[in-house]
Structure 1
Amino acid sequence: MGPAEIVWRVTQLAQKKASKIGVGLAARPPAPSLARFGATFVGALEGGDGIDVVALRASADAILAGRWNVFAMRGLNLGFPPQWNRDPKTGTVAPMKLGKAIDYRRESVVGDIKYLWEPSRHLELVTLALAWRASGEQRYAAGARLLLESWFDQCPYPQGVHWTSSLELAVRLVNWAFAWQLLGGADSALFKGEEGGRFQRRWLDNIYQHCHFIRGYFSRHSSANNHLFGEYMGLFVASVQWPCWPESTRWQALARRGLEVEAVKQNTADGVNKEQAIYYQHEVMDMMLLCHHIGQANGAGFSATYLQRLERLAEFVAALMDVGGNVPMTGDADDAQMVRLSYEDGWSPYRSLLASCALLFNRGDLKHKAGRLDDKNRWLFGSAGATRWQALADAPEKPVLAFPEGGYYLLGKEFGTPGEVRIVIDCAPLGYLSIAAHGHADALSFTLSAGGEELLIDPGTYAYHTQKAWRDYFRSTAAHNTVQVDNQDQSEIGGNFMWLHKAQATRVAHIPEGQAQLFEGVQDGYRKLADPVLHRRKITFDANCNAIVVKDILECRGAHDIALHWHFAEGCRVEAEGADVVAQGERNRLRMSSPFGGGPQLLRCSEAPIAGWISRKFDEKSAITTAVWRGRIDGTTEIETRITLDVAGDVVSGKSNI
């Protein structure tokens, strides 16, 4: 931390101490003005207009029956309403004291904080409100009110773990804004009569306290990542939806200004979120989309620069997404949604965002990648949006192949067709700001898919605050398709969300066009060793015969233990054939060979060492096969790995020239 951050953190600590004696709190919110509320931002739908009402109502009915889905725990019996301060995973009941005095990182105090916080984001409140809007059944609206009142009772400001993180409050405010709109806004039947008026005032008092809290506890300096963006989002949406207090105008101006600044600071001009985590790119994109959508409905849309950055972010997602809709799981992921508006089977957050951007920017190529208009976009853009979607001409994919500022490069062919080969190479910085919280040690790793089928993958994230060994593994170098030296990570882990020494990756060459394609890059993560090692990687792709040659050059003077890890998708049946590895997917086949070491070792569901795992969802893991070539080098050495593909739907034209 630099001097400015130290001063800021000391100030925050003093502010927390003062709040213990009531100084600086909003214990008695001022009376709200009810003269004006925000304009509707939920699209008008005619006769349901394609919404999967059956799936929506099934989700709402499950909530009313007390069955909740919280990360890996599905159909969890939490009751309705639930115990908001009890961790559904461990059963730990968090203490009811000043929220800012609670160490939410300590499992012994709060349990698994992700599980405790998730229900209180109130995505399920929106589920009930949507079900009421779609069906008109009063029990859904009554359930929404009961859920809110129980939360107000059990989570009084500023006590308990739900008053610790400004981001959690911000996401809750966004869901409250959607629920308020869907339930009828200020004219909702829930607010009628004396009792309804008291309920409305109680809700508005909580909204004021949420805004006041966020304004006092922004994430700054080394913490100014997606958390800060989300905090601005919550404050902006709330001040637009509920301009009920003198502070609302200042809050809106502050949040709007912050969003404009952070949209540029946190995202590269070529469309890569600087946290180097594709799921967090999705989250920031969703924040940007929702703020613009809600702002625009209220005459407060965002600048051309802001929107241009959002469009570039969409182009990066489109470039990473293969013809089957798969997106490499680069960096951290926590499965968060800002608001849930889709319940249909097979819903993809990435395709959904591309559909939104197709409508927003009139992009037929993004429509092609999205594939269809999902329920989230139907709720956002209404029947008018569905009409525009139908009128938007579909355009073939022409992916951007290089993101030099963001650090990603593509090789491949026949993009968007059954014969597609898509290679995505990571030559990016570790992460954002000094702690690089959500980055993984994956420099010069790459993923490979063929015909929309994943073959070589990034195994994902799995854990955050708990299960340290698993947290460290999934973000380690060994969990990525690259080279490990002396059992070290390229970058040095300093904590669950902190990195110390950081590898620097640099592109040397990139030729993505034609039949003979090339990428070359270097990374210096192992220069920290007593005998420094520079890792140089050359990847060549022969589009004539679907052959890939990977040359790893390790420049050093002394002896080192080397391991090359390759992680295969769970749909692959992987076997060793002598010195080769053969992976048979559902439609495609891959052969990998290398003369290095004593031949391949296949690991599956291994815990010593940890290897052979994939995590498609937070806190869930399943089996894959990891192939490892191990050996020892002495001085500068080149290691060659050859990969040949048999791609269904493609006719190769000759022998390899590489």
Structure 2
Amino acid sequence: MNLVWLVNRLRSMSPAEVVWRVREQALRRLAKGRLDRWGRYEPSGSRAPQLPGLLASVQRAEPQLRSAIQAAAERILSGHFSALGVTWPKLCWDGGFPANVWRLDPVTGKNWPGADTFTFDIGYRHAKDYGDIKYAWEYQRLQFLQPVAAHYALTKDGRALAFIEAAIESWFAHNPPYHGIGWNSGIELALRSISLLIVSSCCEADLSLDTQSRIRRILVSHLAWMRRFPSGYSSANNHLIAECAAEFLVALCMPELPISALTLEKAGRTLELEADKQILRDGVGAEQSPTYGAFTAEFLLLCAEMARRANRPLDGNVDKSLARFAKFISWVTLPDATTPQIGDDDEGRVITLTEGENCYPASVSACIWGYLGMEPEGVVPARNTLRDAIFSSQDAGGALPKGVRVFEAGGYSVFRGEIANRNAFLLFDHGPLGYLSIAAHGHADALAWILCLNDQPVLVDPGTYLYHSGGPWRDWFRGTAAHNTLRLGARDQSIISGPFNWSHKANARLLDWAGDGKPDFEASHDGYLEQFGVVHRRRLIIGPSSIRVKDRLVGERMPPLVEMSYQLAPNLRARIEDNAVLVWAEDDQLLRITFPDSGSLSIAEGEGPDRGGWVSRKFGTKTPAPRIIWTTTNFPAEAATEFHML
């Protein structure tokens, strides 16, 4: 174990959490040699577990959606699988799934430890030689079986059934309880459980008795694991909701289990409480990422839908939380149904065709509107995901919101309207770094802002790129320099202390906004107060033909160096003209940005992970893109930057 990581992680824990973690480690040690045999998980009953009404929902899929399901299934049945920006080696499965497919990192070509290694002895956080554990986990989620199972439900294609049975037989044989990487993390067990419930619901008794028995044993063992090692304290984020969702659904589908009634009650109550915590009162996801908010909402939605079908609905607060989230997403979704990147995005999905989804938050919102029986607000994407079949999502959107909306709890101010006859979307970030003490998926982006013109991204968030294997790249993509804000003294506003942790967090807040629909916002953050004795204040004023940004550093002493960055979208170009930068796309001139006279201008594109200009549109990929940098050692009392529309 990495000592620096451990010290930083302990700093983010309360004394109560430290005690809880010690107990957790003891339980992990006790599991070795005692709980690591399939024979301990002999389930009662024999039927294939069924998510209520799921098979009928899939069978009602419209022709366009049926075609999407078939195409996804055919691709997987032909041995092709891609995720997280990577394509796996072609799978020849006719003779069964090979053992190493469950351990393979497709980037490095190396195999993680398998069935001969106790799962909690695998230091995946610091084993960078193997690669990023997320790639192997992605395959272990068994989500590639979802479209194949849906295809079987629609066509009774024997190849699909054979593929499913071969995959489950292999996973069962090569991933015994508490061995290998498939048992490291509760969220992975949760997503795998949901995949198996979807498979069982679509295929029912057509699965062989051996496969049905394997599915039941896997589900029982996963339920026992998640109940024994729940995410708590600083880890009680989307992982906790995922685990409770899986527990709830397994118990709902297997009522014959002795612990099902108690599990339904406890997991359901936790979901009801967490819905209010992890979706804030204004609908913003507490993790400060629209895609992680959608991930949380999709877990909640699946449980709410299945509970309602089983005539034991969850508390009404869950529905209210889902409605809040959908309303928030309507304000930050663009006309093409995409949502600007903010914070982390690892492309996690609950129900999927295992193909790239560019409109995930809007897709989840469309399903929420359908579940609630409400007319959608804002745009909805085309109905072409498995999610749409299960939830009967809305297929016709509403009008795009217009004007100004401030989300005070989540910390975003949004403007949608016209500037110089261009449709403009602007989002100003004055929210918290992230959720709970580790703020795992937040970025050091206080007082950054995003701009789209005529529905095209102009000023953008850099994205995510990588997690565990990212190293300095992980730090760059969530560091201050990569975002559209100020960096002081070449230091981040919030101090990184690990891939998912921070030792110091900037506190941002909205100071004032004009009200009456006027786009005039002022906010501040104290991230540099301890280091340099100053508070950064930023005001955005949106006028008829320009956007004026006023930056002030309030304090008794000034930092040695101030950098102002603006990251452009990859398809844009920029050129310096005196103390201004001209920005254009192809033949369309978009902006002339005028900077204060007291600094110097440069444009970086590409280069290393300590400078440069990069945008990661999808996990595991990065694209060079122009980043404008204004630097000064003589910061004025007020630095005014003008964005003139051309």
What is the TM-score of this pair, normalised by structure 2? 0.91
What residue number does 2:458 align with?
455
Change (3 A) 1:461 1:159: same
| Identical residues among aligned pairs (%) | 30
Change (3 A) 1:28 1:279: same
Among 180, 194, 202, which residue is 1:174 paired with?
A: 194
Question: Does 2:104 align with 1:86?
Answer: yes
Among 365, 370, 388, which residue is 2:380 paired with?
A: 370
Whether the aligned pair in 2 keeps the contact of 1:614 and 1:624 (CA below 8 Å) is: yes
Structure 1 letter corresponding to 2:528: Y
Q: Map of 1:337-356 to 2, 5 A cutoff?
A: 337-341=349-353, 348-356=359-367
Structure 2 letter corresponding to 1:333: D
Superposed CA RMSD = 2.4
What residue number does 1:564 align with?
564
| 1:580 CA drift (Å) | 1.2
Q: How many residues align?
A: 624
Whether the aligned pair in 1 keeps the contact of 2:450 and 2:459 (CA below 8 Å) is: yes
Question: Does 2:514 align with 1:502?
Answer: no
Structure 2 unaligned segments of length 5 or more: list them.
1-12
Distance 2:163 2:179 in 1: 24
Distance 1:480 1:209 in 2: 44
What residue number does 1:580 align with?
580
What residue number does 1:549 align with?
548
Distance 1:115 1:375 in 2: 22
Question: Does 2:69 align with 1:56?
Answer: yes
Change (3 A) 1:623 1:36: closer
Distance 1:477 1:441 in 2: 5
Among 261, 265, 277, which residue is 1:249 paired with?
A: 261
Distance 2:606 2:400 in 1: 40
SS across alignment from 2:491: coil
Distance 1:45 1:76 in 2: 30
Change (3 A) 1:466 1:232: same
| 1:55 CA drift (Å) | 4.1
What residue number does 1:435 align with?
438
Structure 1 letter corresponding to 2:278: Q
| 1:89 CA drift (Å) | 2.2
Structure 1 letter corresponding to 2:522: E
SS across alignment from 2:365: helix
| 1:58 CA drift (Å) | 3.4
Distance 2:353 2:82 in 1: 15
| 1:52 CA drift (Å) | 4.0
Among 221, 227, 231, which residue is 1:209 paired with?
A: 221
SS across alignment from 2:622: strand
SS across alignment from 2:307: helix
Whether the aligned pair in 1 keeps the contact of 2:251 and 2:261 (CA below 8 Å) is: yes
Distance 2:129 2:539 in 1: 49
Question: Does 2:285 align with 1:273?
Answer: yes
Change (3 A) 1:513 1:448: farther
What residue number does 1:327 align with?
339
| 1:335 CA drift (Å) | 0.9
What residue number does 2:132 align with?
112
Among 60, 67, 77, which residue is 2:80 paired with?
A: 67
Change (3 A) 1:528 1:57: same
Whether the aligned pair in 2 keeps the contact of 1:459 and 1:480 (CA below 8 Å) is: yes
SS across alignment from 1:495: coil
Distance 2:249 2:379 in 1: 29
Change (3 A) 1:580 1:349: same
Whether the aligned pair in 2 keeps the contact of 1:535 and 1:552 (CA below 8 Å) is: yes
Distance 2:467 2:436 in 1: 19
Structure 1 unaligned segments of length 5 or more: list them.
191-195, 647-658
What residue number does 2:154 align with?
134
Distance 2:305 2:632 in 1: 55
Change (3 A) 1:264 1:26: farther
Whether the aligned pair in 2 keeps the contact of 1:332 and 1:461 (CA below 8 Å) is: yes
SS across alignment from 1:271: coil
Change (3 A) 1:25 1:247: farther
Deviations 1:310-349 (A, max 9, x none): 1111111111112343322111110111121486x87521
What residue number does 1:650 align with?
none
Distance 1:299 1:319 in 2: 33
| 1:34 CA drift (Å) | 3.6
Distance 2:272 2:357 in 1: 33
| 1:158 CA drift (Å) | 2.1
Whether the aligned pair in 2 keeps the contact of 1:596 and 1:640 (CA below 8 Å) is: no
- Of stretches 16-25 and 256-265 in structure 1, the one that deviates more from structure 2 is 16-25
Question: Does 2:407 align with 1:403?
Answer: yes
Structure 2 letter corresponding to 1:354: S
SS across alignment from 1:428: coil
Structure 2 letter corresponding to 1:617: K
What is the TM-score of this pair, normalised by structure 1? 0.90
What residue number does 2:627 align with?
626
